[in-house]
Amino acid sequence: MSQTTKTTTLLVIGGGPGGYVAAIRAGQLGVPTVLVEGASLGGTCLNIGCIPSKALIHAAEEFGKARHYAGESALGISVQAPAIDIRKTVAWKDGIVSRLTGGVAALLKKNGVEVVRGWASLLDGKTAEVQTADGRLRIQCEHLLLAAGSEPTPLPSVPFGGMVISSTEALSPDSIPRKLVVVGGGYIGLELGTVYRKLGAEVAVVEAQDRILPTYDADLTKPVAAALEKMGVELHLGRKVLGLNAAGNALRVQDGAGAETLLAADRVLLAVGRRPRTQGWGLEGLQLDRKGNALRVDDQCRTSMRNVWAIGDLTGEPMLAHRAMAQGEMVAELVAGRRRHFQPASIPAVCFTDPEVVVAGLSPAQAESAGLDCVVAQFPFAANGRAMTLESTDGFVRVVARRDNHLVLGWQAVGRGVSELATAFSQSLEMGATLEDAAGTIHAHPTLGEAVQEAALKALGHALHI
C-alpha cells in the first residue's frame, strides 16, 4: 500500500451537517478545502438520524391513519384492513437518504471541495493520515476543523448486539417485532417507540427519571404522555435497567423500592442518549481542553490549540444538526478572514413525537432561575379553528417575556404540526421582538400560527378567542 501526501488550507474531519456545510462555505469563499469522511456524506443526520427517522415517522403516521379508518371515523372514511410491507417502506426511506447525500456530494464538487473517502487518524494539530481504498494518504493543513459527531451511548448492563439494537438498526428494520422495549424516554426513544407502535408492535418505554422527556418542562410533556397512553404504549418510569434475563427474551428492570420486573421483548432499543465521538482517531494526542466528554470551544469554535476548530456534537449539547451547520458556516468564514462570533439568540429544539414539541429561548423556569421578572401566557389549540379541522386540539403555544419592556425571551409549543412554528419562534427571538410585535403581526387565518399571536395577546391581557 502506497502513501502520498497532500496539503490544503482547511482540512475538515467529518462530512456530517457541520462538516459539509463548513466545507461548502469555505469553497464558496475560495479557501482550498479537503473533507474526509469514512462512511457516508451527511453523517448521522442524513443517513441514520434526523432524515430517516422523519421518513419513518411519516410512514407510520400514514399507516396509523389507515388502521384508524378501518374502524369508526367521524369523518365518514372507511377502509379495509390495511397492511404494510416494511421492506418497501425502508427502501423508500433509503431513496430519500440517497437523494440527499447525492445532493451533498454534488454541492461539494460544485464548490471545489476535495472529498477523501476513508477514516482519518490525527497525527498532530496540522496533520491527519487517512486510510483510503488506494492506500494511506497524509494530509497537512493550516486549519483543522474537527466535526466527527457523536455515537449512541452504551449501557454496560445491556450491551449492543443480538436483540439489543441502537437507533441505527431501528431505522432499517426487516420486520416489526411483536414486543419492543425502548430503554430511554428522551426524544429518540419516544420518536422511534411511537413509530413502532403505529406499525403494530407492542411497545414499552423504560425511563430512569420520573417522567418522559425529562429535559423538557412537565407542562409540555403531559400531552405527549397522554397520547402515548391512548396509543397503548406502556410507560415504566423511575426504573433502573438491570439487563436481560437468562433466557434472553425479557428485560429486567427495578423500581425505586428495589422490586424487580420482567418486560417481555423480542427486541430492545437502547436510546439513552449520544456521546461525542472522541475515541479511536488520535484526538487524545492533541490534548485539547475538554468540557466533560466534549471538546471545549469558545464563541468562535476555537479549541485550546491554535487553528484547530471543533463544531457540532463533538462540542457537546445541544447536539442538533442545525447548530452544527451554523457553527460550520461561521468557522469557514473565520478561516477566510471574516469576523464572526457564534452568539445565537436561540437554537430551537424539536421533538417529533405525536404530538410534537418545540422549544426556543428561555422556559419559564429558566427565566426565573436567571432572576428575570417575566410574564408567561399560553393559548390552547382547543380554541384554534385550524387545530379543530386537523382533529388535534390537544396542546398549546406559550410565550415568555420580560414584564418591564415586553421583550420576548422564549416560546414553547406542543401539538400536531408545531415543528413548523420553530422558524417563527427563533426569528422573533433573533430580531428582538416584543409582545406587541407578535400581537400586532397579522397572522393568516385559519392556521396553527394564530396561536402564536393569541399567546402574545393573552400576555398583554387581551386575548381575543379565549
Q: Catalytic amino acids?
A: 445
C-alpha span between 223 and 449 (Å, rounded):
19
| Residues whose CB falls within 8 Å of the CB of residue 342, separated by 6 or more in sequence, listed in order | 299, 300, 301, 326, 327, 330
Give the position of cell 418505554. 205
Contact yes or no for 40/101 (Cβ under 8 A): yes
For 442, list phi and psi in degrees, rounded to 5: -75, 120
CA distances from 411 to 93, 399, 440 (A): 32, 5, 17
From the number of C-beta atoms within 10 Å of its C-beta (0-12, 13-18, 19+), residue 366 rates as middle
Give 34's strand partners. 11, 114
Query: C-alpha grid cell for residue 344?
Result: 445565537
Half-sphere exposure of 283 (CA within 13 A, CB side): 26
Query: C-alpha grid cell for residue 350?
Result: 424539536
